Structures are given as C-alpha cells and as structure tokens.
C-alpha cells in the first residue's frame, strides 16, 4: 500500500515564493511508494476545506505548507485523529515550526516528513476553537488587526503595525479574568496565552512554555508608563521581560476572560485576527491530541 501524503499549500504565506514543486516532491516521495497530492489555497479557511477533503480521500499525512495561520486551518481538522500533521515552514514568523525545531530549509523539512518521527502535542482552545501556537486579547490582537491591512506579510510589516498600534492603543477595556478559583479585574496592555515557546522570528513572551506539559502559559502586562513600555520592549527582545515586576506569568489549564462592558473583544488566534462571538472568552488546554512529524 502506498502512503498517502497531501500537501496543503498557502501561496501567499511569507514571501510567497515557496519553491515547492511536484517534481521536487517526487524525488523525496517516489510514486512506487507514495501517493501524493498538492492542493493550493485560494482564500481564508480554504485550507480547512481542503484538509477535510483530504481526510475523506484517506490521506495519512497532511502537510501544512505555510505559517501558523495555515497550520491552524489544517491542524484544526486533525486533532484527536491518527492522521499525522506535517509542516513545511513557509510563513513569515513560523512560530510553531520553530518551537518544534522543524527546519526552514525546504529540503530538510521534507526529510523530516519522510522520516515520520512523531510527537504528540497539546492544543489550546478559545471558545472551543483550536489554537496551536498562541492567542491573545490585548496589544498583540490590535497589532494583528492592523497587520492584516498590509499587502506584505514580513517582519517589516509587523514592525510598522506595532508602531502604528502603539500610537493609537487604548487601555480602556476592563476585563474580569477567572482562573483556579480566583477572580480579578484587569485592564491590561497585554493578555497573551501561549501553548508554544515561540511567537515567530525567534521571539518569545513565554520561553518556559512547552507543547507537551498540559498547560497554557499566560502573560499579563498592565498599563505601563512610556518609560516602562520602552524598557519592557528592550527586555522582551532579549527574553528578559520577566525582570520587570509588572509582568506576571501563570501556567494554567483553563482561563475565562470577560469584558465588563459586555462588548466582544478583539483577539488573535495563531497570528490571525479573530473576533470571538461572545463577550466571554473561555480558554482551555487539550493535552496531547495532535500527532506531528518532527526531527
């Protein structure tokens, strides 16, 4: 029996020129042993529809070719199944791939899929919808909202969006957060929840996070003075933001966030803008329910 591998390719992820061709795939996965299919996405959420079709076609490995957004759309269909997720990192940040040590080099990443060495990782949920890398309802969500107006998806565009968001960001949103039987009121600059220890571009707000510890790593940063914000940014770039006493970390299995104004919050999910349907956001971890090909 030939192994069925389906490649779901996002042609606009990262710089957009990914170098993946059928000829290259055939050198790694010869027709005598493998049955290969390449599918290109044409719009947002198309990867999910293509993955569902691949599952119905009996694919045993489904490879997300793109960044965290593409992985989210593909992997959402693979949780709690025995189908393996492969990753060819072709996005801008590639946070999850980097945490999993999947090489950015296309040929090396193809070898990883061929070896079929598998780890089972945790996945997070936000109001029941899976996320794999991170989510957030603070400054990061506003940056992503601005970023999606850009025509290019590269580091420079993230930097531009960060600066634009810094100028207009307001801290008016009063949130009630509940975890481990505790209720708190916060009005945070940042409320970031991560499964992975990397956000992309080798940057991390949650360096202690593990994809296999059954925990969500939560970072809460209150409103900061301009000086403290500058300091926080500098420390963050060197992964030393924990030096600031205002920065709080929690490792949790569940968290509830409620807008006191009863408005729906802006959020980001794996780097894509997301507006939860209700003013209450429920976050949870689902331990070890996704099989991923790694080195």
Ligand X SMILES: Nc1ncnc2c1ncn2[C@@H]1O[C@H](COP(=O)(O)OP(=O)(O)OP(=O)(O)O)[C@@H](O)[C@H]1O
With binding defined as CB under 6 A, does residue 39 bind ligand X?
no
With binding defined as CB under 6 A, does residue 271 bind ligand X?
yes
The nearer residue to ligand X, 94 or 204, going by C-beta atoms, is: 94
With binding defined as CB under 6 A, does residue 276 bind ligand X?
no
Residues 6 or more apart from 38 whose CB is under 8 A from it? 6, 7, 9, 20, 22, 25
With binding defined as CB under 6 A, does residue 65 bind ligand X?
no
With binding defined as CB under 6 A, does residue 69 bind ligand X?
yes
Contact 289, 122 (CB under 8 A): yes
Residues 6 or more apart from 156 whose CB is under 8 A from it? none
Maximum Cα–Cα distance across the chain: 63
With binding defined as CB under 6 A, does residue 155 bind ligand X?
no
With binding defined as CB under 6 A, does residue 151 bind ligand X?
no
Pick the binder of ligand X from 70, 123, 135, 197 (CB under 6 A). 70
Binding mask 79-98 for ligand X (x = CB under 6 A): ------------xxxx----
d(CA 105, CA 114): 15
Pick the binder of ligand X from 6, 39, 142, 153 (CB under 6 A). 153
With binding defined as CB under 6 A, does residue 43 bind ligand X?
yes
CA distances to 67, 85, 106, 110, 147 from 195, in Å: 16, 17, 25, 25, 22
| Residue-wise DSSP of 242-257 | GGSTT-EEEEESEEEE
Binding window for ligand X (CB under 6 A); candidates: 63-71, 105-113, 163-171, 254-262: 63-71
With binding defined as CB under 6 A, does residue 200 bind ligand X?
yes
With binding defined as CB under 6 A, does residue 13 bind ligand X?
yes
Number of residues that bind ligand X (CB under 6 A): 25
**Six token digits for residue 277:** 């349907």
Pick the binder of ligand X from 7, 18, 41, 161 (CB under 6 A). 41
Residue 226 Cβ, how far from ligand X at the closest point, in Å? 28
| Residue-wise DSSP of 165-227 | HHHH------EEEEETTEEEEE--SEEEEESSS--BTTB-S-TT--TTSS-EEEEEE----HH
Summarize as ranges the residues that interact with ligand X (CB under 6 A). 10-14, 41-46, 66-70, 73, 91-94, 153, 200, 271-272
């Amino acid at each position: 029996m030939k192994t069925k591998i389906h490649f779901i390719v996002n042609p606009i992820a990262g710089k957009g020129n990914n170098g993946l061709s059928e000829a290259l795939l055939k050198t790694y996965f010869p027709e005598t042993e493998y049955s290969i299919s390449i599918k290109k996405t044409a719009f947002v959420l198309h990867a999910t529809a293509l993955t569902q079709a691949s599952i119905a076609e009996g694919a045993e490995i489904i490879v997300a070719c793109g960044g965290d957004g593409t992985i989210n759309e593909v992997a959402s269909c693979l949780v709690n199944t025995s189908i393996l997720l492969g990753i060819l990192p072709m996005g801008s940040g590639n946070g999850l791939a980097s945490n999993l040590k999947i090489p950015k080099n296309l040929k090396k990443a193809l070898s990883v899929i061929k070896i079929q060495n598998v780890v089972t990782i945790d996945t997070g949920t936000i109001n029941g919808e899976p996320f794999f890398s991170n989510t957030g309802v603070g400054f990061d969500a506003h940056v992503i909202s601005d970023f999606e107006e850009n025509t290019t998806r590269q580091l420079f565009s993230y930097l531009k969006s960060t600066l634009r968001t810094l100028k207009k960001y307001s801290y008016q949103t009063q949130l009630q957060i509940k975890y481990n039987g505790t209720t708190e009121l916060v009005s945070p600059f940042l409320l970031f929840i991560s499964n992975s220890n990397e956000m992309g571009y080798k940057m991390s707000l949650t360096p202690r996070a593990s994809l296999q510890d059954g925990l969500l790593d939560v970072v809460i940063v209150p409103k900061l003075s301009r000086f403290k914000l500058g300091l926080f940014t500098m420390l963050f770039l060197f992964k030393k933001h924990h030096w600031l006493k205002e920065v709080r970390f929690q490792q949790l299995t569940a968290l509830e966030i409620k807008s006191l104004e009863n408005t729906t919050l802006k959020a980001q999910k794996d780097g894509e803008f997301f507006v939860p349907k209700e003013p209450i956001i429920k976050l949870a971890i689902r331990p070890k329910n996704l099989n991923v090909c790694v080195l």
